Structure 1
Amino acid sequence: MSRSRRSIPEELLLLALDPTTGTTAQPQSLDLGLAGAQLVELALAGRIAPNGDRIAVVLARPTGDPTLDTALELLRRRGAPVRAVHWVGGPRLGLRQTYLSHLERCGMVHAVENQMCGVLPTTRYQATDTEVSREIKARLDGAIRTGTPPDARTAALAALAHAVGLGKHLYPGNEGRSSRSRLRDLIRHDPMGGLVAHAVMDVQNGAAGQARRAAPAVRGRRPAAPAAPRGGQQVPDQARRRESVRVTARPSLSPH
């Protein structure tokens, strides 16, 4: 894979980077989106392909991108196709920082050291080439305004931007409502982008966690049912009910 072209994870990160604060919008869901964006980039590179709601490796040859190749190797080691929601929801410690550091090495952002409350060291990232971010945003704007089907990269980027909740960051306020709606509609133009975007939203909605929690209950032993009464023996309630019937049915004796 040529490093002269920005990857979809890098573009998603640049879209999320706030030029004023130097922080990323939607940081928690953005981490899910970056994991999903890796799948889209690997699919565009011909290394993986969708298989229903799962991801299958079709070519294990490295791409030349160390971060993507690490993801590809993890997928290959699984052996069987992996559900997209499980991949997206898996641990991806440091993934955002990995891409921020790469963008810094490429000169697209620079780190600004600071302190939180005057004590805790923090690092913010400012875009050094705002033209790059504007170009990425312009591609989304064009797809939204024209209504013509975008290319696969732009469609996948739009799907991920919607999935991680960047719509209000990119198109804020009431005036951006129609643009946010069209951004959501672009999810249908790329099969892999749509699959991954839905996986990101499912993880945020807790679908993956619910599935994992339900699995032990399916495999576990069901609670034992109450033992049936042994022959002739009656449980107390049944005995009382029948005794009541016998008492009621007994004829009364008239006094002499």
Structure 2
Amino acid sequence: MGRSRRTIPEELLLLALDPTTGTTAQPQSLDLGLAGAQLVELALAGRIAPDGDRIAVVMARPTGDPTLDSALELLRRRGSPVRAVHWIGGPRLGLRQTYLTHLERCGMVHAVAGQMCGVLPTTRYQATETAISREIRARLDNAIRTGVPPDPRTAALAALAHAVGLGKHLYPGNEGRSLRSRLRDLIRHDPMGGLVAHAVMDVQNGVAAQPRRQQAAAAGVVRQPAAARATADPAGAPVQSRHGHGRMARVGAR
């Protein structure tokens, strides 16, 4: 896969970046969307294909994109088709930061150093190639407003944007209600995009965890709810701590 074309994960992230604040809309669900967008991109590259509600590797040859190839290799190692909802719901530590770093290297965003609560060093990301972001948005607007069936890439991007909740970010308020509805309707124009988008929404609704909870109950294992085990992820921009452990923090402001 050449680098002349932006990938769907990159475009989804650019859509989510607020041009004024450098924060990302829907940061928690966006991480799921990026994992799903990788599946769509691999499908468009002919490396994977849907098998019912599962994803099967049909060609293991690398695409040339390191991040996509890492996902492809993980899928190949599974040895058998994996349910899309389980793949998307799996751990994706640092995926958003990986794509932000890549966009920075490509000159499409630039890092802005700051502090959270006046103590923790953080980094926000501002779009620099605003024409690219406008072009991506224009493709969605055209598909929504004209009713002309979009190309598969745009249809998949629209499906993922809806699945992660970017509709209210892109088309806010009561005046954007009909546009958000049309954005949702674009999900039907790409089968793979639709499969992945529904998987993203299922993960958010806890569908992916249900079989595991049932198995744990059958084994007599009692686990705390996820909310009790994990610290809440405040909405805001993905930020990179400059402390030794390199963990990501997130800025609470939108």
TM-score category by the smaller chain?
0.7 to 0.9
Q: State the alpha-carbon separation in 2 of the partners of residues 120 and 211 from structure 1.
A: 39
SS in 1 for 2:175: helix
The one-letter code sitting in structure 1 at the alignment partner of 2:84 is: A
Q: Counterpart of 1:38? A: 38
* Structure 1 segment 205-244 matched on structure 2, within 5 A: 205-217=205-217
| 1:28 equivalent in structure 2 | 28
Distance 1:219 1:187 in 2: 39
Q: Does 1:7 align with 2:7?
A: yes
Per the TM alignment, residue 117 of structure 1 is displaced from its structure 2 partner at its CA by 1.6
Q: Secondary structure, in 3 states, of the residue corresponding to 1:61?
A: coil
2:182 corresponds in structure 1 to 182
Shift of 1:217: 3.9
- TM-aligned CA deviation for residue 218 of structure 1: 5.0
Structure 1 distance, partners of 2:76, 2:108, is 32
Structure 1 CA distance for aligned equivalents of residues 211 and 32 of structure 2 = 18
Aligned to 2:165: 165
Q: Does 1:86 align with 2:105?
A: no
Secondary structure (helix, strand or coil) at the match of 2:213 reads helix
Would you say 1:202 and 2:202 are equivalent positions? yes
The CA distance in 1 between the partners of 2:55 and 2:65, in whole Å, is 19
Q: Structure 1: how far apart are the matches of 2:59 and 2:99?
A: 24
Structure 1 residue 98, shift from structure 2 partner? 0.2
TM-aligned CA deviation for residue 209 of structure 1: 1.2
Q: Give the AA of the match of 2:157.
A: L
| Alpha-carbon distance in structure 1 between the residues aligned to 2:63 and 2:210 | 34
1:101 is matched with which residue? Answer: 101
Equivalent in the alignment of 2:123: 123
AA in 2 matched with 1:70: S
Q: Measure the CA separation in 2 of the matches of 1:80 and 1:178.
A: 41
Whose helix proportion is higher, 1 or 2?
1
Q: Which amino acid aligns with 2:57?
A: V
User: Could you tell me how far 1:219 is from its partner in structure 2?
Assistant: 6.6
Q: TM (normalized to structure 1)? A: 0.85
Gaps of 5+ in 1: 221-256
Deviation, structure 1 residue 24: 0.6
Partner of 2:235: none
User: Quick one: distance in 2 between partners of 1:218 and 1:162?
Assistant: 36
State the alpha-carbon separation in 1 of the partners of residues 162 and 128 from structure 2. Answer: 25
Q: CA deviation at 1:216?
A: 3.5
Distance in 1 between residues matched to 2:88 and 2:211, nearest whole Å:
14
d(CA) in 1 for partners of 2:197 and 2:93? 20
Distance 1:26 1:174 in 2: 19
Pairwise CA distance, 1:210: 1.5
Long gaps (5+) in structure 2? 221-254
TM-score (norm. length: structure 2) = 0.85
Task: Provide the identity percentage.
Answer: 88
Equivalent residue, structure 2, for 1:61: 61
Runs of 4+ in 1 over 6 A off after TM superposition: none
TM-fit CA distance, 1:215 = 2.3
Residue 211 of structure 1 and its aligned partner are, at CA, apart by: 1.8
Distance of 1:143 and 1:219 partners within structure 2:
49
Shift of 1:148: 1.2
Q: Distance in 1 between matches of 2:80 and 2:213?
A: 22
Structure-2 separation of matches of 1:219 and 1:134:
52
- Length, aligned pairs only: 220
Deviations 1:122-172 (A, max 9, x none): 110000110000000000000001111100000000000000000000000
1:241 aligns to what? Answer: none
Distance 2:77 2:145 in 1: 42
The CA RMSD over aligned residues, in Å, is: 0.9
